[in-house]
Chain A
Amino acid sequence: MSGEIAKAFARAKARGEGALVAYGMAGDPDLPRSVDVFAAMVEGGADIIEVGVAFSDPIADGPVIQGAAERALKAGSTLKRVLDEVVPELRRRCPETPLVIMTYVNVIMAMGEERFAKLARERGVSGAILPDLPPEESGSLRATFDAAGVDLIPLCAPTTPQARAEAIAKDARGFVYCVSVAGVTGMRAQLPADLSQRLELVRKASLVPVVAGFGISTAEQARTLSAHADGVVVGSAIVRAAHSEGPQAARAMCAEIKRGLKR
């Protein structure tokens, strides 16, 4: 298991803050400029970066991230190019911040599980999130990732029964990604009332940090949730800001969420 993710959560905690896991789409608007967006997110206070790798058929994503994926594919983004061009440059510019690849299982399968795990580790990737790979299907891939030292970060959903959520949490690598709403990625004005209670249950069962994601776009939401979780994931709000106003807007969005995460 990679230690970088644990260290990033520990650093945030030591500063009295919840961790900000910030998502961006590699290759949007193109590969070099997406590196600028990621670096700006770190300057804005992101503790962990989720590097989105576009897939043509993203069934877990809402319109903002779908649109970003379409732009990234048009700009020639591929998993190989992200590992070759985005990740090394980002490691150079932000050596302290753990990088997690977020993509769909077909993209990993096309490269080959072992080849991906090896390349990812060599380039300094700490983990991967595959939203269409539930625990039942992840056995061989997780063993490969474990051997290479890449954390396969599991997801938990509002529809996940408690016993299953506990099993997922007990067995998790890196952190547990608790999906806050039954739906696709994207900003929501309201988050479910029982979310804090669910987060506490998962947290109790988990040996690794627990974060809430999907639908979070304001400092106020971040503040409410960070009382019950080790951090939050913000994606669509950052991607939208970067798309309309560039890296500075992504930095400002991260800084704004980070204000909500100060305890």
Chain B
Amino acid sequence: MNTQTAVGRFGRFGGRYVPETLVPALMELEEAYTAARADPTFDAEVAQVLREFVGRPTTLTPARRLTEAWGGAHVWLKREDLAHTGAHKINNTVGQVLLARRMGKKRIIAETGAGQHGVATATACALFGLPCEVFMGALDVERQALNVFRMRALGAVVRPVESGSRTLKDAMNEAMRTWVSQVSDTHYVIGSAAGPHPYPTVVRDFQAIIGTELRTQAQAAFGKLPDAIVACVGGGSNAIGVLHPFIGDASVRLIGVEAGGHGLDSGQHGASLTLGTEGVLHGSRSLVLQDADGQIQEAHSISAGLDYPGVGPELAHLAKTGRMEVRTATDDEALAAFYEVARLEGILPALETSHAFARGKELARELGAGKYLVINCSGRGDKDVATISARGVPPAVGVKP
């Protein structure tokens, strides 16, 4: 089902609010993308790379001990953490880099928050032999040392961005500013389902493989569609990817979980769907965290990937129309969920994903026994271990010290 209401619009949201210099490039991208999608050889090539290199389809795993511990619905996990590079981000970068190559672009730039999108872009560039430059907030460079190393190891140049809050939004500003000066031979791989049209559509389509696989796997695993699907929401690429194929299925509850940070009343959070107002950021009209004068506010989350004051326009539309339910989880709740999942299921989820798990517990109870809840396990937590261990590790279970 398509929620696009006009070209590049999702209800009131979306559009293309960029400097005139970029408008022709976005038109060219839109045209090239439309042509590529109409060409079966392109889809076949993307599918082949996803299968042979990324490791798709990712599995749908029953979380038996969480199901038992939470005492409610059957909990299943869609395992994007098992995709190559450790997160769903690779689905989109493989698609966009193949598209860029088709368009004859000579180099790739990208922005990254937690570094997963940067690693995924660097990986796709290494695979297809294109030079790659990744803009990353200087604060994120500090807190995501592992991913910075991975990008460099893959041959990418990491550019720390010192302006503003030194996080994802500033990295995106700098990537756009750079793109304006190099637009003729450079493709900008945006990692969130955000930015100017056609990016929200392009990213969503490449990520919709998550939900498309889930439809088939759910039927095979428990004989019906899930009763509810939960995903964390920063910019929203994993959320729109897993949820989009279910928009037309009224029986399926769609739930997005945002970063509650230090709490919604603390002023330090990343809850743009919950507390944002209509505005324009990074080329699209959506819900953004801003003050009364239209200045964008700094978001906060323990998770670098949810630390973004905007959200993709299609998710804003789904939230405003009520099709997607929006909840939040605080830093502390995400940390608690991280350990619960680690110790009950043997999975270290990314801090982003831990937000979805934090709300999964109450959703499982709300749904009740006999229902099926799928949590999108958007990425693995290796990159976050320094942040998490700095807070101290709880004692081992069931073993005397």
Cα distance A70–B296 when bound, in Å? Answer: 12
Which chain A positions have C-beta within 8 A of B182? Answer: 182
Number of interface residues of A (CB under 8 A): 43
Residues of A195-254 whose CB lies within 8 A of B: none
A56 touches B164 (CB 8 A): yes
A144 at the interface (CB under 8 A from B): no
Q: Given A110-B292, A183-B180, A184-B181, is A59 in contact with B280 using a C-beta cutoff of 8 Å? A: no
B21 touches A110 (CB 8 A): no
Cα distance A131–B177 when bound, in Å? Answer: 12
- Residue among A78, A108, A137, A184 facing the most chain B CB atoms (10 A cut-off): A137
A159 touches B24 (CB 8 A): yes
Q: Which of A109, A136, A156 contacts B280 (CB 8 A)?
A: A109
A60 touches B19 (CB 8 A): yes
Closest CB of chain A to B159's CB: distance in Å?
14
Q: Which of A61, A132, A159 contacts B25 (CB 8 A)?
A: A159
Nearest-CB residue, chain A, relative to B28: A159
A132 touches B19 (CB 8 A): yes
Number of interface residues of B (CB under 8 A): 36
Cα distance A61–B164 when bound, in Å? Answer: 14
Q: A162-195 interface mask toward B, CB cutoff 8 Å, 1 = contact, 0 = none?
A: 0010001000000000010111100000000000
Q: Given A134-B20, A159-B24, is A62 in contact with B294 using a C-beta cutoff of 8 Å? A: no
A109 touches B278 (CB 8 A): yes
Residues of B11-34 whose CB lies within 8 A of A: 15-25
B24 touches A161 (CB 8 A): yes
Closest CB of chain B to A214's CB: distance in Å?
9
Q: Given A109-B279, A109-B280, A157-B20, is A79 in contact with B180 using a C-beta cutoff of 8 Å? A: no
B293 at the interface (CB under 8 A from A): yes
A110 touches B20 (CB 8 A): no
Closest CB of chain B to A20's CB: distance in Å?
22
Q: Given A106-B280, A109-B294, A184-B177, is A57 in contact with B169 using a C-beta cutoff of 8 Å? A: yes
B295 at the interface (CB under 8 A from A): yes
B176 at the interface (CB under 8 A from A): yes
- For the A-B complex, the count of residue pairs with Cβ-Cβ distances under 8 Å equals 120
A105 touches B20 (CB 8 A): no
Closest CB of chain A to B248's CB: distance in Å?
29
Which chain B positions have C-beta within 8 A of A161? Answer: 24
B293 touches A59 (CB 8 A): no
A73 at the interface (CB under 8 A from B): yes
Nearest-CB residue, chain A, relative to B277: A110
Q: Which of B15, B183, B283, B295 contacts A182 (CB 8 A)?
A: B183
Closest CB of chain A to B53's CB: distance in Å?
33
A158 at the interface (CB under 8 A from B): yes
Which chain A positions have C-beta within 8 A of B282? Answer: 57, 59
Closest CB of chain A to B166's CB: distance in Å?
13
B20 touches A179 (CB 8 A): yes
Closest CB of chain A to B203's CB: distance in Å?
19
Nearest-CB residue, chain B, relative to A66: B163
Which chain A positions have C-beta within 8 A of B281? Answer: 57, 106
B293 touches A159 (CB 8 A): no
B23 touches A106 (CB 8 A): no
Nearest-CB residue, chain A, relative to B175: A59
B18 touches A132 (CB 8 A): yes
B279 touches A157 (CB 8 A): no
- Residue among A61, A159, A160, A161 facing the most chain B CB atoms (10 A cut-off): A159
B294 touches A79 (CB 8 A): yes
B164 touches A57 (CB 8 A): yes
Besides the known contacts A110-B293, A157-B23, A181-B181, 12 further A-B residue pairs in the complex with CB atoms under 8 A apart: A59-B173, A106-B281, A107-B295, A110-B292, A134-B16, A134-B19, A137-B16, A155-B20, A157-B20, A160-B23, A179-B19, A182-B183
30 contacts between A and B (CB under 8 A): A57-B282, A59-B18, A59-B177, A60-B180, A61-B177, A70-B163, A78-B295, A79-B293, A104-B280, A106-B279, A110-B292, A110-B294, A111-B293, A131-B19, A131-B20, A134-B19, A136-B23, A137-B15, A154-B20, A155-B20, A157-B19, A158-B21, A159-B22, A159-B184, A160-B24, A161-B24, A168-B20, A179-B19, A182-B180, A184-B181
* B binding-site residues for A, Cβ under 8 Å: 15-25, 163-164, 169-170, 173, 176-177, 180-184, 278-283, 288, 290, 292-296
